[in-house]
Chains A and B, each alone.
Chain A
Amino acid sequence: MTWLGLTALLSHWRANPWQLITLIAGLALATALWSGVQAINAEARASYDTAADLVTGSGLRQMRRADGAVLSTAEYVALRRAGWQVSPVLEGQLRLKGQSLRLIGLEPLTLPQTAPRDEAATTSAFAQTDLFDSAETVVAHPEDAALFEGMSVEVRADDTRAQGTALTDIATAQRLLNTPDQITRLIVDAAQPLGLEPLPDRYEMSQPAPQNDVARLTESFHLNLTAFGLLSFAVGIFIVYGAVGLAFEQRRAVFRTLRALGVPLRTLMALLALELGVFALLAGAVGVALGYLIAAALLPDVAATLRGLYGAEITGQLQLRPAWWLSGLGMALAGTGVAATAALIKLARLPLLSFNHPRAMSMHAAASARWLALLACVLLVAGLALAVWGQGLFAGFALLACLLIGAAFLLPLLLGGALNLAGHLHQGALAAWFWADSRQQLPGLSMALMALLLAMAANIGVSTMVSSFRLTFTGYLDQRLASELYLNTRTPAQAAAITSYLEEKGVTVLPILSEDLRIGGLPAEIYGVRNHATYRENWPVLAALPAAWDRLAASEGAFINEQLARRNDLAPGDYLETGDLILGVYSDYGNSAGQVVISEPQFAQRYPQKRAQRFGLRTQDPSALATDLRQRFDLAEDALINQADLKAFSLSVFERTFSVTAALNLLTLSVAGLAILISLLTLASLRLPQLAPVWALGLTRRHLAMLELLRAVCLAAATGLLAIPLGLALAWVLLTVVNVEAFGWRLPMFLFPWEYLKLGMLTLLAAVLAALWPAIRLARTPPDRLLRVFSNER
């Protein structure tokens, strides 16, 4: 009996393959977006955990000579013999076949070990060839490997290596770079012996950037991604909800028959749950596979963003981690559960006899629209409360969720009201039928329309945020990067030689002095600035005490960036934990770390060993000056940076930061379009009984199809109109709540009506496209099928 019931239930899908595809596709897409985002997050987090990046040494302290000179082998050995656990690194540019390559020489024996020790790994590693074999081994990206052809080295191609850098043993590096006895820097092991002597003055150590700092700083970014993933998932679940609901409605006859044959309600529901569980797992698996593809496509951009924004290194390689694919499957099951619960409850509550009442489900749906609206009001009030009293990023996202879901739940009631109103205003028999029929269709379409509303609102909100950000950011860059040329010198001696030459020439030289420090337990930077009009005129100061620049010049206090001010709740007039009075707060986009600016004399007093090696140069003709300096001094390739290049680079970092959100947005909108198509397709067969009488009254099938298209456009347009205020509200929350929490800066909001119009047209187009196929099918419905409606009424 159970088996019979199951086959009876499943036969529905055989008869309606499109519905099955809809269900699977909706669920798979939802899972794909979710698990894709989770995969990216998992990869990034795993990178933070394991990646004390030994090559750039970002996770460990670095030791250098305080005077900027290279270290000798003897100095290294002396430090080791004093107990310091340091490992030498030699870095240099190698010109090979006309290309420049960064070669990094390491000392594997002393390199700090971060991975767990494992005997199996040891013995298998032992079986491989080693670095100190007769030929020296260079590890390089496959694209770079060819450059080493013809040299007395063995190249191991490794696609996990970044292109443009190669690794080798320090002895080989010294030979290839022709820098015998030289060491650029030392990596300082986190574990140092007991009773270690203090470090001699001639060395200085950089502050470490511990992994958990990176994790803490990037947490907001990941939360952002997760929120987008969840939004996409929600949109996908609307599709599933629609598909499941329709499948239930269409199978009323089957349910009735099965129940009449004696299948208990409990068994019937268990069978339906089993059926959906299988579908969920199937769709979940497809979704996880798709998610992997999405993540693999987006990961390079995310990696670039994290590097650009937070300096966090993550590998561009994606691994299949149980954390995210399990969560993908889990979400698919949970999502199906949520989407199906309502349908199952309805099924359980429907009296046996009303099973064949054609409008049973719809009538219940109409009643539930009021309940939804009530729920929406509760959510919106909660959102309002969060906006007023909420704190933190989580509250920001909760506010977003309340706003979006609340608005979505309100949609059926609003659209129903609008259709009612239109029906009243628009006279005539056909019009009256059109509006009434639209109202009647609304419950079936409302889920898809909610998805569309969410997708459009998200699109408007995010594009408003990004565009506002871009406007502000470019303006900010123009202000902040005031110097025309930026100079990086290698040694203090070189710095002195160049600056004295420049001062003779009358070029304004602004030294850039900085040192790492910690404020509130998080890494920050402190800068010493010269008293010069460049800063007074150009710095984007948000709030300041009177005569702040004069007081800064007089070493009476410090300026701090907006991030630091917000994170530690500081304002001009407060004192920093460094003891400085805060004179002003300036905006500082594109960087999440705190910054403190003090006067040049004060900086020199605090960090006497620090000499400026970076400078901003004010000049009328930057390219002429750059050429002149390159000719006169032995400058490295990257020693001079043009302001224009720097701006272009900063903007490209910015663009990549938001390319991920843009991609997710587009995907979400596509999913919403699909939702409409699916809903219309499934509704089409149900609607024949309603259309047949109208056809019989003389309306051509073509005319009916046109009306169907018109209805889709009307509903999409109404939804789109509602999406605009919702999207703007979303943008406002993103700019004034989420951004402040996530990145530490608040941005002014700009409006882009032209963009919204374009998006609106795009949505209408999507709606027309989605409605087109069902309309064509209707236009081509054989008349006998329409006729049969009358003889064949259930």
Chain B
Amino acid sequence: MNGKSLIIITIAWLLSAAIVAAQSFAGLGSDAEGFDLPERGTPFEFPADHGAHPSYRIEWWYLTANLKDAAGIDYGLQWTLFRSALEPEERPGWDSPQLWLGHAAVTTPTAHYVAERRARGGIGQAGVITDPFEAWIDDWQMAGAEMEVMTLRASGTDFAYDMQLEAQGPLIFHGDGGYSQKSASGRASYYYSQPFFEISGTLMLPDGPVEVTGQAWLDREWASQPLGASQVSWDWFSMAFEGGDRLMGFTLRDSDGGDYTAATWIDADGTTTPFPDGAFSAKPLTTSAVAGRRVPTRWQAVLPEKGVDVTVEALNPQAWMATSIPYWEGPVRINGTHAGRGYLEMTGY
């Protein structure tokens, strides 16, 4: 039944598209009918703000980790829960306008494993509660009191992981106290992170289990119209340098020209310094053929005000997320004025 399944697939695509498009593309447009908009100076309230904000259009719980096994081999891990609202409210049951999407991945120097989950809200298949904290979709779960000591689980057809997380530092608020501007015209999101997780656990890979330890970075972000219509894609960097300093920087690429960049410098003790548009910049050095396209997998990233001029290189250039809307996300090695490890996300290639 060619025709039949096509319709269904179209519908399914369309829904997932709504979710990831919000993050990856300017697909949602610029109007925010009925949805709340972030306002500068709004204080965060925890644990409530660790949970979902149904009146905002999109939201995510985005965890990436750089890991090493006993033999010193590097791994990367991703656990992401997206929420996308079709209407600015939650209703119980199948009528819920809240849609959920999960992405999980494990990257090794030679392989990249990806899984995707989808669910609608209202029936308990996916959601986030705060006391105690639990974010889940199907059997995937990130849970633990206060979002400081947590377990993390996900599984795909060819991989699974079961990890423990322990926060070693404070929450970090990007931009102006968590109000993160995304364009010169003032589009913005609420954006905070926990970049100080120690992580350990077991990766189940086709060759068997691997015990790993490392560092993880959790991003929390929600908004209703974060990207302008011409902002087609972005490159996002998280870097953990030897010595404990960290750097978050992103470039929002604009189809009309004129990229928008922002960065947050994080001292080892958690002190943050936000940088406005133009302070941080990243330039592709080498591209790789990935999934039938050219994707930059070696970058030069600079933040002159902090003396940062580093080369960021993918651990595995083939870290392609072949999900409903595909993108590149994987662990990176950092060398230059600063050395360390981190994660790179690139959309729109």
Contact = CB atoms under 8 A, between A and B. Distances in A.
Interface string A509-522: 00000000000000
B97 A132 contact: yes
Interface residues of A, number: 57
Contact of A81 (B15, B139, B326): B139
Nearest to B326: A119
A427 interface: no
A47 B1 CA distance: 6
Interface stretch (B69-77, B113-121, B165-173): B113-121
A117 B326 contact: yes
B123 interface: yes
B15 A83 contact: no
Interface in B1-60: 1-18, 21, 25, 27
B204 interface: yes
Contacts of B266: none
Given A113-B9, A117-B322, A167 B157 contact: no
Nearest to B157: A191
B23 to A, nearest CB: 13
- Chain B interface, DSSP helix/strand/loop, else mixed: mixed
B234 interface: no
Given A73-B123, A81-B136, A52 B14 contact: no
A290 to B, nearest CB: 24
Contacts of B7: 139, 158, 160, 167
Nearest to B113: A194
A108 B15 contact: yes
A88 to B, nearest CB: 9
B155 interface: yes
A664 to B, nearest CB: 25
A77 B125 contact: yes
Interface string B90-132: 0001110101000000000000000100111001110000000
Given A193-B156, A194-B156, A313-B1, A109 B120 contact: yes
Contacts of A52: 5
A385 B16 CA distance: 62
A317 B2 contact: yes
B1 A77 contact: no
B65 interface: no
A47 B138 contact: no
A53 interface: yes
In this complex, the interface size class of chain B, counting residues with CB under 8 Å from chain A, is 35 or more
Contacts of B322: 117
A130 B14 contact: yes
Interface in A115-141: 115, 117, 119, 121-123, 125-126, 128, 130-132, 139
B8 A108 contact: yes
Contact of B18 (A82, A130, A169, A196): A130
Contacts of B8: 54-55, 106, 108, 111, 167
A115 B156 contact: no
B79 interface: no
B5 to A, nearest CB: 5
Contacts of B118: 109-110
Interface string A51-64: 11111100000000
A85 B119 CA distance: 11
A362 interface: no
B228 to A, nearest CB: 18
A391 interface: no
B157 A194 contact: yes
B272 interface: no
B303 interface: no
B176 interface: no
B3 A161 contact: yes
B120 to A, nearest CB: 6
Contact of A315 (B3, B17, B93, B123): B3
A192 B157 contact: yes
Contacts of B326: 117, 119
B202 to A, nearest CB: 11
Nearest to A78: B124
B119 A109 contact: yes
A85 B139 CA distance: 10
A83 B138 contact: yes
B11 A130 contact: yes
Q: Which of B3, B8, B204, B322 has the most CB of A within 10 A?
A: B8
A131 B86 CA distance: 11
B301 interface: no
Contacts of B27: 123, 126
A152 to B, nearest CB: 13
Given A122-B324, A194-B157, A80 B138 contact: yes
B310 interface: no
A83 B139 contact: yes
Contacts of B14: 122, 125-126, 128, 130-131
A167 B6 CA distance: 12
A516 B8 CA distance: 28
A51 B6 CA distance: 10
B255 to A, nearest CB: 14
Contacts of A110: 118-119
Given A126-B27, A161-B4, A111 B159 contact: no
- Which 8 A-B residue pairings sit nearest by Cβ, starting from the closest? A160-B3, A171-B94, A193-B155, A83-B139, A109-B118, A126-B17, A108-B11, A108-B12
Given A125-B11, A167-B4, A167-B7, 6 more contacts: A50-B2, A126-B13, A158-B7, A160-B2, A160-B7, A194-B158
30 contacts: A50-B2, A54-B4, A54-B8, A73-B93, A73-B123, A74-B124, A83-B155, A107-B120, A109-B118, A110-B119, A114-B9, A119-B325, A122-B17, A125-B17, A126-B13, A132-B86, A158-B7, A161-B4, A169-B94, A171-B95, A180-B93, A193-B156, A193-B160, A194-B159, A194-B160, A196-B155, A315-B1, A315-B2, A315-B4, A317-B3
